[in-house]
């Protein structure tokens, strides 16, 4: 994925495409309910690295085909027999904790938050398990009116959504709804997900692809430096005290005053104002 022209990476699990500053990952494993596989992780990682490294890419859009956005992790790829096993073959809790802390999926989700460009998850259908965790790492979450959201890990696997799912979800919807989704394993439809703050917008299914694309295009047209600084400032404000957050606002703003984007927009505004004044004077 390099160069200015659209590139397409095709697998039987997902596709990656580029157009108008947007790099789009589309899950295409509908026969498996778009369960997240190793190749899908790899393509998501490639797209995220391309977004971070290339100036021509401005937004990452994550979509899917079929009735499911994703059913979550592909359970058939999960290990059980060797969890916590040391080099001596003995299973210990300390080994398990070390192995899990080193799981690449934790850092994987962190990278969506760290990239200084917007990441949009657009769920056209059911978004379960890791789909909700992935969405909680993204900047924006959109849904069709046919989407459903849930975290079945406790009931299905006797686990919690541990790839940052509990902590990020609680920050988004609060402990009240986090307990409903995680502990009770309840699902919420798109409109309820909007009401509790899990997603940003709901679009009719018949319009969803176009509306999600238009939203991504709007983001791609925003000033790059201001958008990146805004993302950092907002995420920082959510994790520090109020005084530190205000100080960070002011510091961040000083960097934007020096940007060419700011200079260009102020100059254009001044020119428009001067032209209006000349028109009024001539009337």
pLDDT in tens, the chain (283 residues): 544 444 567 778 999 999 999 999 999 999 999 999 989 999 999 999 999 999 999 999 999 999 999 999 888 876 544 555 566 665 555 665 666 555 655 678 899 999 999 999 999 999 999 999 999 999 999 999 999 999 999 999 898 888 878 999 999 999 999 999 999 999 999 999 999 999 999 999 999 999 999 999 999 999 999 999 999 999 999 999 999 999 989 988 998 988 888 888 988 888 898 888 888 888 7
- 198 and 89 share a domain? yes
Between CA 22 and CA 166 the distance in angstroms is 29
Number of domains in the chain: 2
The reply to whether 110 falls in a domain is: yes
Same domain, 65 and 203: yes
Residues 28 and 90 in one domain: yes
Contact 1, 46 (CB under 8 A): yes
Tell me if 3 is assigned to some domain: no
Both 272 and 211 in one domain: the answer is no
The pTM for the full model equals 0.87
Q: Are residues 201 and 242 in the same domain?
A: no
**Distance in angstroms (rounded) separating the CA atoms of residues 43 and 7:** 13
Domain boundary among 176, 205, 222: 222
pLDDT at 81: 46
| Domain-embedded: residue 4 | no
Token reading at 219: 């983001």
CA distance 105 to 116: 20
In a domain, 70, yes or no: yes
* Distance separating the N- and C-terminal Cα atoms of the chain: 56
Do 232 and 189 sit in the same domain of this protein? no
For residue 111, the Cα-to-chain-centroid distance in whole angstroms is 10
| Whole-number Cα distances in Å, 205 to 85, 111, 122, 195, 229 | 47, 30, 11, 18, 33
Residues 131 and 102 in one domain: yes
Domain containing residue 65: CATH number? 3.90.226.10
CA R_g for the chain: 22
Q: Are residues 122 and 245 in the same domain?
A: no
pLDDT of residue 71: 96
- Are 172 and 260 in the same domain? no
Distance in angstroms (rounded) separating the CA atoms of residues 91 and 81: 10
- Domain extent at residue 233: 225-282
Last residue in a domain, options 177, 198, 222: 222
Q: Does the residue 2 lie in any domain?
A: no
Residue 151 sits in the same domain as residue 249: no
Identify whether the C-beta of residue 131 lies closer than 8 Å to the C-beta of residue 72. Answer: yes
Residue 86: per-residue pLDDT: 60
DSSP H/E element including 123: strand 119-123
Same domain, residue pair 120 and 158: yes
Look at strands 148-150 and 126-128 and give their pairing: parallel
Pair 254, 185 in one domain: no
Model pLDDT, residue 4: 41
Asked if 25 and 47 touch (Cβ cutoff 8 Å), the reply is yes
Residue 1 lies in a domain: no
Please indicate, yes or no, if residue 196 is contained in any of the structural domains.
yes
Position 208 in a domain = yes
| 171, 198, 222 - which closes a domain | 222
């Amino acid at each position: 994925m390099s160069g200015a022209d659209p590139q397409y990476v095709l697998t039987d699990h997902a596709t990656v495409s580029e157009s108008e500053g947007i790099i789009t990952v589309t899950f295409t494993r509908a026969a498996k309910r778009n369960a997240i596989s190793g190749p899908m992780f790899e393509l998501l990682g490639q797209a995220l690295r391309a977004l971070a490294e290339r100036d021509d890419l401005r937004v990452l859009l994550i979509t899917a085909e079929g009735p499911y956005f994703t059913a979550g992790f592909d359970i058939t790829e999960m290990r059980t027999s060797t969890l916590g096993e040391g080099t001596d073959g003995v299973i210990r809790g300390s080994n398990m904790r070390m192995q899990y802390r080193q799981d690449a999926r934790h850092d994987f989700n962190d990278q969506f938050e760290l990239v200084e460009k917007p990441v949009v998850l657009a769920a056209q259908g059911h978004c379960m398990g890791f789909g909700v965790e992935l969405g909680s790492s993204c900047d924006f979450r959109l849904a069709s009116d046919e989407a459903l959201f849930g975290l079945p890990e406790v009931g299905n696997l006797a686990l919690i959504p541990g790839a940052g799912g509990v902590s990020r979800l609680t920050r988004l919807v609060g402990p009240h709804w986090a307990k409903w989704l995680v502990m009770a394993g309840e699902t919420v439809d798109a409109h309820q997900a909007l009401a509790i703050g899990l997603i940003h917008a709901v679009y009719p299914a018949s319009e969803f692809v176009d509306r999600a694309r238009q939203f991504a295009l709007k983001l791609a047209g925003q000033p790059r430096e201001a958008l990146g600084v805004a993302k950092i400032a907002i995420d920082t404000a959510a994790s520090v005290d109020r005084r530190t957050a205000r100080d960070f606002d002011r510091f961040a703003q000083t960097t934007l005053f020096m940007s060419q984007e700011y200079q260009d927009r102020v100059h254009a505004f001044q020119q428009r104002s001067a032209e209006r004044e000349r028109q009024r004077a001539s009337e």
